[in-house]
């Protein structure tokens, strides 16, 4: 985990108190939870729908650490670990190629532990992203690929201490990748 502390540095005219982010080993902690997965193929559907399917997964993770939130006095969860996360994919696989749409979502999670003087802990809000991939087989050895990332233009939001105190608003924009794969 990363911890932000304030330290004084002697450096001529640049001397002063600086906020330093540094890795910190935890004393102890535990994670309990479960994961549910489901996959279904639909080979008997007619026409273009033959070869379609879905995959679904849900993860619940409950963590316990000795970390104490400097603003609330309550125990903090393990940094970087969402309590709930969910993934869903719908796909179609044919001799001509394949198509896949995937949605990934994760719950709010503790990003960085900070002191109350630094504004409190940093949290990243719940985030979901829709991606797609397409592959077309020109020949048995040559394939065209298109990948679409963050189709819905979802944004990551990090806040300090309370949801109303937005610290970072970040959009990784929609991205499109084209490619050709050839096997000799």
Please spell the DSSP secondary structure of 77-117, one letter per residue: --TT--SEEEEEEEEEEETTEEEEEEEEEE--EEEEEE-GG
- Of all residues in the chain, what percent carry a pLDDT higher than 70? 98
Q: Residue 52: how many CB atoms within 10 A of its CB?
A: 17
Residue 3 above 80 pLDDT? Answer: no
- pLDDT tens across 84-116, in order? 999 999 999 998 999 999 999 999 999 888 778
| Domain spans, the chain | 32-182
Return the closest-CA partner of residue 60 out of 76, 77, 47.
77
pLDDT of 130 > 80? The answer is yes
Strand order in the sheet with 97-106: 30-42, 52-64, 84-94, 97-106, 127-137, 142-149, 175-182
On whether the pTM is more than 0.85, the answer is no
Say yes or no to pLDDT of 1 above 70.
no
DSSP 3-state assignment of 172? Answer: coil
What is the per-residue pLDDT across 154-173, written as a single tens digit (0 to 9) for each? Answer: 998 988 877 888 888 888 88
Tell which wins on pLDDT, 4 or 132. Answer: 132
Sequence length of the chain is 184
């Amino acid at each position: 985990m990363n911890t932000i502390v304030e330290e004084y540095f002697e450096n001529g005219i640049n001397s002063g108190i600086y906020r330093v982010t540094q890795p910190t080993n935890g004393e102890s902690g535990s994670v309990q939870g479960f994961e549910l997965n489901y996959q279904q193929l639909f080979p008997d559907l007619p026409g273009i729908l033959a070869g379609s399917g879905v995959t679904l997964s849900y993860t619940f993770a409950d963590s316990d650490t000795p970390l104490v939130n400097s603003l609330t006095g309550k125990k903090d969860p393990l940094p970087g670990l969402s309590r709930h996360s969910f993934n869903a994919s719908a796909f179609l696989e044919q001799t001509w190629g394949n198509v896949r749409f995937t949605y990934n979502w994760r719950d709010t999670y503790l990003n960085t532990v900070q002191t109350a003087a630094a504004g409190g802990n940093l949290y990243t809000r719940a985030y979901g992203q829709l991606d797609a991939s397409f592959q077309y087989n020109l020949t048995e050895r040559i394939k065209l690929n298109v990948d679409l990332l963050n189709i819905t233009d979802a944004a990551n939001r990090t806040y300090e201490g309370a949801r109303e105190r937005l610290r970072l608003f970040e959009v990784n924009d929609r991205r499109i990748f084209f490619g050709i794969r050839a096997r000799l």
